[in-house]
Structure 1
Amino acid sequence: MKTVNNIVQNNFKSIFSVSPETSVLDALQVMMDKNISALLVMDGTKLNGIFTERDYARKIILVGKSSKATKIKEVMSEKLVTIELGTSIDHCMQIMTERRIRHLPIIENGLVIGIISIGDLVKFVIEDQQQTIEQLQNYISS
């Protein structure tokens, strides 16, 4: 069974976060600079929430709030689903599909160690399937 650990081992990324007091505009700048679509909202090592492009569209743009004057803590998603390194890839995909979310923070021993996106999962599954196909082709050829 393939797990989150398989993704993290091969493709560990930096964790990008902002504090709850950060302005939405500043958070968007970080997201643009890092070419990411979500930021963890952390107070020290404590995970408070997540801010995504979807949060921006629904909680800022559509309600006419100011990106400069609004703090992340006012618009972040607080009810987070988190996973551990041992969580299966299939379970992650199930969580994302059922809850209609695109990012899952990874928690190990009470600390945030990473985040995976639906894109990370899809890429991993495609690469894993490609390896299986190649192995089967090699087996058939020999």
Structure 2
Amino acid sequence: MTTVRHILDAKGHDVFSVSPVDSVADALRLMSDKDIGAVLVTEGDRVVGIFTERQYARKVFLMGRTSPTTLVREVMVRDVIYVEPDQSVETCMALMAAKRIRHLPVLSDGTVVGIISIGDLTKSAIADREFNIEQLVLYVGGGTR
């Protein structure tokens, strides 16, 4: 069973964040520079929200706001859903589907240790299934290809 820890060990533990008083333009610039779809919103060591491309599209662009004048705190999601490193890929996928979210911060003992996306989970699930199929083919074929 693949866990969040396995995914983070493979992709890295980098977490990028902005302050609630940063402008949306600053958050978007960081997201573009790092080629990511979400940033955590932090005050000191505390996670106070998450800002994603979805928030930009729905709460800034479609509402006629401007990125340079809108603060992250005005549009961020405050109730951040997170997972722990030992949770399974399947559990995370079910949570994301149920909550209709695409990014999950990963906390260990209250400390952020990474962030995973639905893309990370899908990639992992596909790799697991490909491995299982390969093993079945080897088994059925008597260990030869």
Query: Equivalent residue for 2:137?
Result: 137
Written as runs of structure 1 = structure 2, the 5 A alignment for 1:87-98 is 87-98=87-98
Provide Cα deviations, 1:93-141, integer angstroms capped at 9, x if missing partner: 1111011000010000111111100000000000111111111222222
Aligned positions, number: 142
Written as runs of structure 1 = structure 2, the 5 A alignment for 1:93-112 is 93-112=93-112
- Structure 2: distance between partners of 1:7 and 1:119: 11
Provide Cα deviations, 1:45-102, integer angstroms capped at 9, x if missing partner: 1101100011001111111112101111111001111100111211111111011000
- The SS at the match of 1:134 is helix
Q: TM-score, normalised by structure 1?
A: 0.95
- The SS at the match of 2:66 is coil
Q: TM-score, normalised by structure 2?
A: 0.93
- Structure 1: distance between partners of 2:20 and 2:42: 7
Query: Equivalent residue for 2:2?
Result: 2
* Amino acid aligned to 2:93: M
1:14 has 2:14 as partner: yes
- Structure 2: distance between partners of 1:125 and 1:13: 19
Structure 2: 5+ residue stretches without partners = none
Query: Equivalent residue for 1:64?
Result: 64
- The SS at the match of 1:124 is helix
Query: Equivalent residue for 1:24?
Result: 24
Structure 1: 5+ residue stretches without partners = none
Offset at residue 13 of structure 1 (A): 4.0
